[in-house]
Amino acid sequence: MKHIKYNRNLKLVPFILIALLLSACSSKKANLVAKKPNIIMFLVDDMGWQDTSVPFWTEKTPLNEKYHTPNMEKLAANGMKFTQAYACAVCSPTRVSLMSGMNAARHKVTNWTLKRNAGPDAKDDVLDFPKWNVNGVQACDSIENTVAVTPLPQVLKENGYYTIHSGKAHFGAIGTPSENPMALGFDVNIAGHAAGAPASFQGLKNFGHDKNGKPINHWAVPGLEKYHGKDINLTEALTIEAKIAMDSALNKEKPFFLYMSHYTVHIPIEADNRYYQKYLDKGLDNVEAKYASMVEGMDASLGDLMNYLEEKGIADNTIVLFMSDNGGLSAHDRGGVLHTQNAPLKSGKGSAYEGGIREPMLVKWPGKVKAGSVCNDYLMIEDFYPSILEMADVIDYQTKQTIDGLSFVPMLLQNGNTSNNRALIWHYPNKWGHSGPGIGTCSTIREDDWKLIYWYKTGNFELYNIKEDIGETNNLNSSNPDKTHELAKKLADYLRSVEAQRPSFKESGKEALWPDEVFN
């Protein structure tokens, strides 16, 4: 019998093959993950177009000199600045449009939400307001007075993303599923609930909880108990927790979508003590020094997140989008002369004028967007839904809702323009709780450089050429009736097409006229 020499290394062959296969699978998985960019959607609450040292106008203004936002400057230098990005005039409509891709006239969450089946519309002597979707947006269709959608984070999650919510939610009323952002497809919820503002920004005040950890009111920020009693600002705490959540995504080897949704710079106007004294020393009054410190605290969060990306070696594969949910507050609680805090824009939050709806927007997309570029074409908040999905290379998806938004990716890549032959629509058949220029029950259309505002109570129009008159000081309605008629017809046609709601008159019970019916 022939002796066969045994090689003990042969018994390692199966294990080597298995290791090679596992390595190949791991490498394939890593390559798949690498192809999907991480995405940070950085949304600031109530930040005005001028609340930054980055000039979004054709020239730098005194307000740009007032604020210090070096990380916004860095983001602008490394990405694209949009000078005509728009949102709704108040917060919940914007956030629902972001999550759904729908225009507010269609989704009918036209005012801010809080309590189930109870809207916050202020009383009016002339108008009654429609039964709008006071319970916000939901992923299910079993909740009354709500709009059911396929939410943006749910689509991203289904396409391999680890989805993180950090900060203000304000999607659904108390007692509805989406008061918890996880009901909309987020894997993680950090401090998000039904309320649209914090009881306090201060850890020393437990972010609105008593010494026993009990919420003092609806506005108390949940889930940050480990920071209670500590000298830390809410903005910083949310940023720390967001970084911990991103670590989890990296450990899972999954691309992440971080919705960094800050409560700042919403009221209460409270100092970020890291920066407050600096602005007092600059000569700002007490309130404006606090406000400016909140702005810089927000900017510091942006810087911390960008530094995190660098430290983890993922900056080149991470998209950062910066936006605000409505114009800067100017009708109350601010220092100085009210309604001037967004100059040269007119008015502020809650207003149909530019100060209420025009937002600071920046996008960094390494390898795709030219550093230091500027886009002067307009876009609307609902455009973020299809744009983010396209940037994530999510093409084949189905939604419950009709998508009104158009992808602004062609503008980012400078190979197309989705603002051409397009009108933007705002619809607010409600009444906000504060007064000021342009704050009222109205619908608005912008097409090219022309903007028309229609006031339901009076049937009056205001017509402006925004390119020539950014401050909306010269109403051209009387001198250009043909343009008023043209835009009124387009506005009315769109509102009818989405079955938009109208206020009605108390005395007669009749609905207010559509914009084009005024001429009949």
Q: What percent of the chain has pLDDT over 70?
A: 93
- Average pLDDT, whole number, for the chain? 94
Which run of H or of E encompasses 248? helix 234-251
Q: Up-side HSE of residue 345: CA atoms within 13 Å toward CB? A: 32
The pLDDT, as a whole number, for residue 12 is 43
Between 455 and 24, name the one with better pLDDT: 455
- Whether 490 and 105 have beta carbons less than 8 Å apart is answered as no
pLDDT digits (tens, 9 = 90+) for 135-164: 999 999 999 999 999 999 999 999 999 999
Decide if pLDDT at 112 tops 50.
Answer: yes
* Per-residue pLDDT at 235 exceeds 50: yes
CA distance 165 to 347: 31
Give the model's confidence band at 520: pLDDT under 50 very low, under 70 low, under 90 confident, else very high: confident
Query: Model confidence over 378-422: pLDDT tens digits?
Result: 999 999 999 999 999 999 999 999 999 999 999 999 999 999 999
The residues that bridge with 468 in the sheet, in sequence order, are: none
Does the pLDDT value for residue 32 go beyond 80?
Answer: no
Bigger pLDDT: 14 vs 324: 324
User: Going by C-beta distance under 8 Å and a sequence separation of 6 or more, which residues neighbour residue 449?
Assistant: 465, 466, 467, 468
Please report the DSSP string for 381-446 in residue order.
GGGHHHHHHHHTT--S---SSPP-----HHHHHTS--TTTT-EEEEEE-S--SS--TT-SSEEEEE
What is the rounded distance in angstroms from the CA atom of residue 370 to the CA atom of residue 174? Answer: 43
Q: Which two tokens stand for residue 234?
A: 């809410």
The predicted pLDDT at position 31 comes to: 44
Average pLDDT over residues 82-88: 98
Candidates 41, 34, 61, 35; CA nearest to 50 is 61
- Residue-wise pLDDT for 255-288, tens only, equals 999 999 999 999 999 999 999 999 999 999 999 9
Span 77-104, average pLDDT? 98
Look up the pTM and report it.
0.94
pLDDT tens-digit series, residues 13-27: 444 444 444 454 444
Element (H, E) at 44: strand 38-44
- Asked if the model's pLDDT at residue 10 lies above 70, the reply is no
Q: E strand or H helix at 105, and its extent?
A: helix 104-107
What six digits make up the tokens of 272? 């970020």
Backbone torsions φ then ψ of 299, nearest 5 degrees: -65, -35
CA distance 45 to 268: 12
Question: How much is the average pLDDT of 202-217?
Answer: 97
